[in-house]
């Protein structure tokens, strides 16, 4: 099919969010906000993607106001007058190009200390049961894994209440500066995901145990945010099977288990599932070629977004280990799955770093840009 007739360019509405196409800029940590404050260069970075035709921008992860939410001082935060003024400039720049933008709210949870080795030893990471998670296939150093694997104090009821309040305030702050919705990072072994994963959540109270109880904390965060921001704006929720602690980990061993976890989040107020996996078209359960996003949509009926290696023949971890990211024109397969309504949106990360006008290139049927890690990951262009 021609690109102009591609399902990539069908409009989509979710609550008040109206998108001109199905192309989303995936959240990617850039570490270009000294002191947690996004500057003019960050605003220009996002503006260029909006000008390039991307239907929706999801920002890099942004820290909520909690002592151990973030261990990298160059990751932006969603609190404080200085940071919120910076985000106001970002939102205004994107809106000036007719773009739409939502922030991804983030608490690193068990993985606090992974990005910076000099964290305050007096602070305790937020872990449901005090556990980092069973180590497996990971890109972390042996030194960090050994250090992080030491158990710590489990989260208390006061900790849980404080974190829910911090997420809720960050969401309210984001809406006040004009963001078009809210996204939550609930995957990859970070705090929300650590309650879903049996390896990190071994509680026997209302916040852990069976699948329904393991979903209660992230659902409580979603519910509190929904109450605070009202019914107008959509809530996106990123989830994953794999973890930073172990790329082979799974939160659900079957579709029925996944339904239990995701349904709790839908009931709490999630509108869009951002199904994070290393390749968007990878099958996840035996006997079906459905992708993770496809299963999310089939099991819950809500809007689903796929992500993972669009236009690239290697996962992020594989390309980092090899130092190269070969091009793979898997766009026809992406279009087939969108046309079949397997999922509704596609989030693209690395190719958005390679070319701010990626969406325009896809519309015009131009050659895919090549991703050069050394050129595109280290600079803000």
Provide the CA 48 distance to its chain's centre, in angstroms: 21
As separate numbers, helices (DSSP H) first and strands (DSSP E) second, the chain gives 14, 10
CA distance 27 to 29: 7
Distances (CA, A) of 195 to 67, 109, 171, 307, 375: 19, 10, 20, 23, 37
Catalytic residues: 190
What stretch of H or E contains 105? strand 101-106
Check if the beta carbon of residue 49 is closer than 8 Å to that of residue 24: no
Check if the beta carbon of residue 13 is closer than 8 Å to that of residue 19: yes
CA distance 244 to 356: 28
From the CB of residue 370, how many other CB atoms can be counted at a distance below 10 Å? 16
Q: At which residue do the structure tokens 């050994």 appear?
A: 146
The first and second tokens of residue 27, run together, are 């959240």
> Which residues 6+ apart lie within 8 Å of 148 measured at CB?
110, 111, 113, 114, 132, 140
What stretch of H or E contains 380? none
Q: At which residue do the structure tokens 């809106």 appear?
A: 95
């Amino acid at each position: 099919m021609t690109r102009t007739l591609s399902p990539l360019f069908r409009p989509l509405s979710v609550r008040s969010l109206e998108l001109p196409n199905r192309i989303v800029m995936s959240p990617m940590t850039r570490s270009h906000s000294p002191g947690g404050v996004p500057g003019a260069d960050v605003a220009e970075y996002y503006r260029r993607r909006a000008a390039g035709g991307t239907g929706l921008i999801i920002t890099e992860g942004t820290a909520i106001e909690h002592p151990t939410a973030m261990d990298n001082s160059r990751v932006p935060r969603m609190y404080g007058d200085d940071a919120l003024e910076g985000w106001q400039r970002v939102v205004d720049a994107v809106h000036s190009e007719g773009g739409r933008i939502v922030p991804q709210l983030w608490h690193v949870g068990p993985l606090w200390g992974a990005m910076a080795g000099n964290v305050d030893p007096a602070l305790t990471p937020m872990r449901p049961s005090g556990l980092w998670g069973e180590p497996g296939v990971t890109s972390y150093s042996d030194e960090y894994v050994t250090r992080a694997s030491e158990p710590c104090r489990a989260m208390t009821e006061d900790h849980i209440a404080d974190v829910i309040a911090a997420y809720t305030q960050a969401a309210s702050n984001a809406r006040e500066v004009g963001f078009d919705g809210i996204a939550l990072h609930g995957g990859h072994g970070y705090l929300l995901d650590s309650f879903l994963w049996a390896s990190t959540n071994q509680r026997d109270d209302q916040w852990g145990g069976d699948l329904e109880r393991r979903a209660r904390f992230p659902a409580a965060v979603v519910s509190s945010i929904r109450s605070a921001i009202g019914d107008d704006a959509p809530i996106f929720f990123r989830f994953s099977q794999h973890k930073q602690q172990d790329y082979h980990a799974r939160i659900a061993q079957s579709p029925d288990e996944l339904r239990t976890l995701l349904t709790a989040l839908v009931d709490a107020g999630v509108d869009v599932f951002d199904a994070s996996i290393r390749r968007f078209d990878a099958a996840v359960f035996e006997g079906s070629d459905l992708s993770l996003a496809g299963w999310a949509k089939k099991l819950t009926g809500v809007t689903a977004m796929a992500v993972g290696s669009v236009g690239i023949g290697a996962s992020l971890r594989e390309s980092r280990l090899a130092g190269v990211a070969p091009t793979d024109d898997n766009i026809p397969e992406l279009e087939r799955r969108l046309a079949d309504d397997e999922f509704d949106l596609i989030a693209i990360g690395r190719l958005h770093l390679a070319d701010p006008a990626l969406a325009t290139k896809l519309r015009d049927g131009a050659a895919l840009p090549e991703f050069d890690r050394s050129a595109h990951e280290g600079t803000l262009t």
